Amino acid sequence: MAGSNIEQEQQTSRWQWLLFVVIIPSVFAAFFLLLILNAAGVDAAKTAEQWVTNVPFVSEWTDWKKKEKTIREAMAKQQETIARQKRTIDEQQNQIRQLKNELAAKEKELARLTAPAAEPDKPAASAAEAASPSVDVASLYGAMSDKQAAAVLTELSESEALDVLSKMDRDKAAAILDKMPAKQAAKLLSSLSKLTMGEEAAQ
């Protein structure tokens, strides 16, 4: 027990000696040195910084911190540039979509405006197309011999045969009817007479 107390007293005395002999005098010496340097016009803080940076490990750590700061600033600038370019690309894509929509609308409008101009010609063309086959058929029958034309008309329906005969010359139609069976010829002749009388009455 007594030995433990002696050791504690020795340890306390060592700390007291370190405090009063080393630490406190060093603090006062540094304080007075700082006052003297300031009085002499020397920037103590800058001098201390230069001295610290000249220490090998401290200088390396300081250089690394500066490089890290530079790298961070460069990365921040790059990210800002990328974000700005992305915004520009988005704006350009929106403009492209808008232009496509406007172009599609103009194409539809152009198609709507040009469509009516072509439609009036269709009825005339259709009428000509409808008329040309009948004219050609009548001419074709007219070019046949009476016997051949009669044989072909016999195979047609009454309305078709009547349509062909009504468009032919009367003498040619009469010659063809003469070569057809009497019953069918009489029926077609009756219908042809009614058709002719109806046209005359309409006139």
pLDDT at 159: 86
d(CA 165, CA 187): 13
> What residues does each domain of the chain span?
72-106, 133-195
51-64 b/e (C-beta count within 10 Å ≥ 16 → b): eeeeeeeeeeeeee
As a whole number, the mean pLDDT across the chain is: 75
15/56: higher pLDDT: 15
d(CA 194, CA 159): 13
148/53: higher pLDDT: 148
Contact 176, 140 (CB under 8 A): no
Contact 24, 30 (CB under 8 A): no
At 39-75, the pLDDT tens digits run: 777 666 666 666 555 655 555 666 777 888 888 999 9
